[in-house]
Amino acid sequence: MNGTLIPATPIAVDFWSIRKAGRARLFFLSHMHSDHTVGLSSTWNRPIYCSPVTGRILHLRLKVGPWIRTLEVGESHIMVLDEVGKETMTVTLIDANNCPGAVMFLFEGHFGVILYTGDFRYTSNMLQEPALKNRKQINVLYLDNTNCHPSCILPSRLQATREIKELIRAHPHHQVKIGVYSLGKESLLVELALEFHTWVVVSPNRLELMTVLELADVFTCEEEAGWIHGVDLSEINRETMIRWNQLHPTIAILPTSRPVKVNHPNAYVVPYSDHSSFSELQEFVEWLRPCSVIPVVKSQICQTYFQQYLSSEPQELPESRLPKSVQRFMQQGRGQGQQMPTEPIKLVARHPVPRGVSFESPEKCTDRGEDAQDVVDPKQSCPDGFASSSQGGPREC
């Protein structure tokens, strides 16, 4: 799992084990990929803060409607950190350019400034996001390091989409199977449907998701209605390729940067990814110049690659310990979801950010250099407790 308990705060992001959550009191969900929802089930009984789109998917899949607290993307929300309203923090949601509803969280409070990217695909437009463009000092950057190795060279999604279209045009008499995860690549399927003027055939469960996402009306469950099919990625293998081609000439396209192989001449892997490439990660970290970087994927080390981009400016230290009122808030009400805050007390308007994105499930670049080491910058400007990651665990792809 890729959840995080942020030290010296009551904040948990994508972390859903109450038994291990300690003093966490505010639970945030960055997006609905399965490796970020481990432990989250219909029995959950605490407020979940997320984007509106993620809230709709969460309601569909887990039926936890009473606990969903949606926060608008592109706005800053002031949240109380104690029972008397003395201590507050600001959380700003930023479009993560990953799967539908995926966001980054920018937290600001007594603990300093923390940016948690979740899963994200970097674009230079992010640097114009009002919450980031003023170049405020980031004390801690929790970074999506899925592709954090120099060997992870990826085309843009625009380039990958063009390659997919060229493959389809090169097979005008074939049916096309597009391998997708349970959540992801819906916008790619929409683009292909509009480009080739055909319905996209999907399963009933996926069609229900498309309805919740309020996508273009290009999907159907009728097998004979269209010649492009969105199928589960795991369904594409040598045996199914042989069976499909016995019925009708068929190609399969797997839009993924994962190292997958299907032993069939009509199966094509296109490196389409919703995670940032290595060079994009470098550009992002160099621009932000945080005090320290902590990997979201705990099983992969990445800090060595960004050491040169960390801030060298002396910064004012946040308080070295929790305010007493926040300590009391974090200590009270263990096991009692009703004592958690339910709504932000104030909204600070920011310019809205674009939300139409294409996306896919988490991917993992397994080719990692042996010389990478767990290095965190021990600068005086960084708060105690921020210089190391917490919970470990394998990444689910």
Q: What is the pLDDT of residues 127-145, one digit of tens each?
A: 999 999 887 899 999 999 9
Amino acid, res. 211: T
| Upper half-sphere CA count for residue 256 (Cβ side, 13 Å) | 26
Token couple for 7? 């030290």
What pLDDT is stored for residue 192 in this prediction?
A: 98
3-state secondary structure at position 282: helix
Q: Which residues, 6+ apart, have CB-to-CB distance to 75 below 8 Å?
A: 92, 93, 347, 348, 349, 350, 352
- Residue numbers of the chain with a pLDDT score lower than 50: 319, 334-342, 346, 349, 351-397
What pLDDT is stored for residue 34 in this prediction?
A: 87
Q: pLDDT tens digit string along 244-291?
A: 999 999 999 999 988 888 999 999 999 999 999 999 999 999 999 999
State the CATH architecture for 4-151+276-348.
4-Layer Sandwich (3.60)
Distance (Å, rounded) from C-alpha 96 to C-alpha 283? Answer: 16
pTM beyond 0.85: the answer is: no
Do the domains 157-270 and 4-151+276-348 match in fold? no
For the chain, domain boundaries:
4-151+276-348, 157-270
Distance (Å, rounded) from C-alpha 216 to C-alpha 382? Answer: 46
CATH code of the domain made up of 157-270? 3.40.50.12650
What pLDDT is stored for residue 333 in this prediction?
A: 55
What pLDDT is stored for residue 344 in this prediction?
A: 65
Distance (Å, rounded) from C-alpha 315 to C-alpha 68? Answer: 36
At CA 346, angle to CA 98 and CA 46, rounded to 5?
Answer: 65
Q: Which residues, 6+ apart, have CB-to-CB distance to 299 below 8 Å?
A: 392, 393, 394, 395
Q: Which long-range contacts (CB under 8 A, 24 or more apart) does 383-388 make?
A: 383/8, 383/111, 383/112, 383/139, 383/140, 383/317, 383/318, 383/320, 384/8, 384/320, 385/7, 385/8, 386/7, 386/8, 386/112, 386/114, 386/139, 386/140, 386/291, 386/292, 386/294, 387/292, 388/294
Q: Where are the alpha helices (DSSP H) in the chain?
A: 52-62, 130-133, 157-169, 186-196, 204-213, 238-247, 278-288, 324-331
H/E stretch holding 80 reads strand 76-80
- Measured from the Cβ of residue 261, the count of other Cβ atoms closer than 10 Å reads 10
